Amino acid sequence: MAKENLPTESVFSFWSGVFLPVEYKGHSIVAHNSSWTSRMTIWVDGEVVYSLSSWKFICEQDIQVGSETLATRFGWAKRGFIFEVFDGDTLVASADYPIKSLGWKQVLPFVLLGMALGFSVEHFNLLG
C-alpha cells in the first residue's frame, strides 16, 4: 500500500481487512491484518517494518520507531481488533476496532433464506 493511502483512523472491511493507526512522538504507526491471507503488516511513517503471515489471535513483536524499540500487540481480543504499543511495560499508544456481535435481527433473514432454499431444493428435486 502506498504511503499516502494509509488511513489515519481505524478502518475495517471484509474485503481489505482491518487498519489500526496510532501516533507516537510524531511518528505514524499503522497496523493492518488482511481479511484473506492472515498477513499482518506494520508501517512506521509509511515504511513497512514488519510483515508476516500468522494465524495467531494476538501477535506480539518489536518494531523500531525512530531510535526506540517498541513492543506491539496486534490482533483479535474480546470481540474486536486491538493494536497496542508499549515502551517497556508502559502502554504508550493504542487503537481498537470493536466488532458488534450479531443479534437475532441480523441472523433471522439468513435462517429464513436457508429454510426456503432447503425446501426448494428438496421439493423441486433440484439436485437430482
3-state secondary structure 96-119: EEECCCCCHHHHHHHHHHHHHHHH
Residue 35 main-chain phi, psi, to 5 deg: -70, -30
**Residue 101 predicted with pLDDT over 80:** no
| Least confident window among 9-23, 24-38, 60-74, 99-113 | 99-113
**Residue 4 predicted with pLDDT over 70:** no
Distance CA 66, CA 38 (A): 27
Distance CA 23, CA 16 (A): 22
Could you tell me the domains of the chain?
Answer: 3-101 (2.40.128)
Share above pLDDT 70 across residues of the chain, in percent, rounded to a whole number: 95
Q: Where are the beta strands (DSSP E) in 9-57?
A: 11-13, 17-24, 27-33, 39-44, 47-53
Nearest Cα neighbor of 74 from 90, 48, 50 is 50
Nearest Cα neighbor of 22 from 91, 97, 96, 95 is 95
| Verdict on whether the full-model pTM lies above 0.75 | no
The reported pLDDT for the residue numbered 78 is 80
